[in-house]
Every structure is written in structure tokens, then in C-alpha cells.
Structure 1
Amino acid sequence: MTPGWLQQLTAAQLPALAGLAKAIREDQPAVVQGITTPFSSGANEGCVTDLKLQKRIMAGRPGVPSLRQRVILMALLRRRYP
């Protein structure tokens, strides 16, 4: 069953909103699950954000061993200062 507001988005004939409605419809069970359950992936998202930041900061510098060390230090700091 599709909520009325999704149908209104499609009927609005605005490409961006129609695309959003289509994406929500394609993955509707996951969207409903994400909105209605008390669980969160916030901690994982924070770790991914930290990793991407370190990767950007280190662009052009020595590879994986340095990046690994920085990620480990960032994780230790997050545990110490939540």
C-alpha cells in the first residue's frame, strides 16, 4: 500500500520529487523499518565518516599503514571523549 503523499509527489510533475518517490517505493520495506524501529546505525555511520575524513586529509601521503594508525588513534579518542 502506497501512502497518498507518495502519489502526490509523483503527480507533482517535479523530476526531483518524482525520483524521491520512486526511490522510496523501491525500498519501502527498508524505509519503514528504519523509521519505525528503535535501532540506529549512528555509531557505524560515525566511524565511516571518521574514516572518510582521515582519507581526505591524507590524500597523496604514504598509504595504508599511516591511515591505519590515524584511524586507530581516532577510535581511541572517540572512546575517551564521547
Structure 2
Amino acid sequence: MPPEFWTSTPLSGVHSTVKAFFKHALEQLTEGDDLVNKHGVKLTLEYIEYLNKKNAELKEQIALRDDFLKRLKSKI
């Protein structure tokens, strides 16, 4: 897994030992022979990536809304 994945995930605000535990657990699952676990890890990583993108979109929408409200307030 790329190192940037771990800094851009929702887990980035979590205590480093918890983050390291999840990273280690996912790496162990990808190294095993069980296909279900490998695909589960892949699906989990894709979902985290989707959540990161959705989170960024929502932050952008909130920023636009806040800007609009500031402009509206200044006109009153």
C-alpha cells in the first residue's frame, strides 16, 4: 500500500498506534493465501478512498455555502 494512503485516510487523526495496528492487520491479510481476505482488503481500501473523495467534496460544498452566507450577510 502506498504511504500516502495512510496520511490521507480518515484514520489520519487517530492515535498512531491504532493506525499502525490497522495498517499491519491489512498488510497481513494481503500477504495470506486466502482470496476472500485479499479481496476484502481491496474492497476496504477502495471504500476508504471513496470516503476520502466524498469527504473532500463535502468540505468544498461547505466552503461554498459559508462563502455565500458571508456575502449574503454583508449585503444585509
TM-score by length of 2: 0.33
Answer 1 or 2: higher relative contact order, Cα 8 Å, separation at least 6: 2
Highest CA radius of gyration, 1 or 2?
1
